[in-house]
A and B are shown apart, each in its own frame.
Chain A
Amino acid sequence: MSDKKFPAKMTGASRRAFMAGTAAMTASLFLPKSLRAADFPTAEVNTTGLAVTDDTVTIGILHSVTGTMAISETGSVQAEKLAIEQINAQGGILGRKIEYIQEDGASDWPTFAEKARKLLVNDKVASVMGCWTSASRKAVLPVFEQHNGFLYYPTFYEGLEQSPNVIYTGQEATQQIIAGLDWVSETKGAKSFYLLGSDYIWPRTSNKIARKHIENFLPDSKVVGEEYYPLGHTQFNSVINKIRLRKPDVIYAIVVGGSNVAFYKQLKAAGIDPAGESPMVLTISVTEDEIRGIGGENIEGTYACMKYFQSLQNENNLAFVKAFKEMWGEDIVIGDVTQAAYLGPWLWKAAVEKAGSFDVDKVREASPGIEMTTAPEGYVKIHENHHLWSKTRVGRAQADGQYEVVFETAELVEPDPFPEGYQ
Chain B
Amino acid sequence: MSIASNRLFTRQDIVGFAILAAIIFIVLPLALDSFRLNLFGKYLTYAFVAVGLVLCWGAGGILSLGQGVFFGLGGYCMAMFLKLEASTPENTSIQSTPGIPDFMDWNQLTALPWWWEPFSHLAFALFAVVAVPVIFAFIIGMAMFRRRVGGVYFAIITQAFAAILTILIIGQQGFTGGVNGITDLRTLQGWDIRTEAAKETLYYVNGVLLFICLFIAQFVRKSKLGRLLIAMRDQEDRVRFSGYDVASFKIFIFCLGAAFAGIGGAMFTLQVGFMSPTLVGIVPSIEMVIFCAVGGRLSIIGAVYGALLVNWAKTSLSESFPELWLFGLGGLFIAVVMLFPNGLAGLYADHVAPRINRLLAKSATDATKPDDATRAAAE
Contacts and interface: CB of A to CB of B under 8 A. Distances in A.
Interface of A: 1-3, 65-66, 102-104, 106, 108-111, 113-115, 117-118, 121-122, 133-135, 138-139, 141-143, 146, 158, 160, 199-201, 204-205, 208, 230-231, 418, 423
Given A3-B322, A65-B323, A146 B194 contact: yes
Contacts of A114: 39, 42, 272, 315
Contacts of A117: 35, 38
B326 A110 contact: no
Interface stretch (B58-66, B177-185, B211-219): B177-185
Contacts of B315: 114
Contacts of B321: 2-3
Contacts of B357: none
A140 B220 CA distance: 40
Contact of B173 (A133, A141, A199): A199
A141 B184 CA distance: 8
B167 A208 contact: no
Contacts of A104: 318, 322-323, 325
Given A108-B278, A139-B274, A199-B173, A118 B180 contact: no
B173 A139 contact: no
Interface string B314-331: 010011111101100000
Interface in B317-363: 318-323, 325-326
B113 interface: no
Contact of B319 (A103, A160, A201): A103
- Ordered nearest first, which 4 A-B pairs have the shortest CB separation? A104-B322, A135-B180, A121-B35, A138-B183
18 contacts: A1-B320, A104-B323, A106-B318, A110-B276, A110-B279, A113-B272, A113-B274, A138-B274, A139-B183, A141-B183, A142-B183, A142-B184, A199-B178, A200-B170, A201-B103, A201-B179, A201-B180, A418-B94
Interface in B296-325: 315, 318-323, 325
A65 B318 CA distance: 10
Contact of B170 (A1, A109, A160, A230): A230
A201 B173 contact: yes
Given A3-B323, A114-B315, A201-B107, 20 more contacts: A1-B320, A3-B321, A65-B322, A103-B319, A108-B278, A109-B181, A110-B278, A110-B279, A113-B272, A122-B36, A135-B181, A142-B183, A199-B171, A200-B173, A200-B178, A200-B179, A201-B103, A204-B173, A230-B170, A230-B171
Interface string B146-183: 00000000000000000000010011010000111101
Contacts of A139: 180-181, 183, 274, 276
Interface residues of B, number: 41
Contacts, number: 107
Given A2-B320, A201-B173, A138 B106 contact: no
Contact of A201 (B36, B38, B178, B274): B178
B96 A134 contact: no
Contacts of B173: 199-201, 204
A118 B194 CA distance: 15
* B interface: dominant SS: helix
A103 B180 contact: no
Interface string B256-280: 0000000000000000111010110
A135 B176 CA distance: 13
B362 to A, nearest CB: 46
B42 A134 contact: no
Contacts of A110: 272, 274, 276, 278-279
Given A103-B318, A110-B274, A134 B180 contact: yes
Nearest to A198: B179
Contacts of B94: 418
A146 B171 CA distance: 30
A158 B106 contact: yes
Nearest to B274: A139
B10 to A, nearest CB: 38
Given A66-B325, A146-B194, A200-B180, A423 B274 contact: no
A17 to B, nearest CB: 19
Contacts of A102: 322
A142 B103 CA distance: 15
B365 interface: no
Contacts of A201: 103, 106-107, 173, 178-180
A109 B35 CA distance: 18
B318 A109 contact: no
A63 B274 CA distance: 19
Contacts of B179: 133, 135, 200-201, 231
Nearest to A147: B194
Contact of A230 (B33, B167, B274): B167
A110 B276 CA distance: 8
Contacts of A66: 323, 325-326
Nearest to B199: A117
B108 interface: yes
A201 B102 CA distance: 11
Interface in B98-156: 103, 106-108
A205 B178 CA distance: 13
A80 to B, nearest CB: 13
Contacts of B107: 201, 204
Nearest to A201: B106
A171 B286 CA distance: 38
Contacts of B36: 122
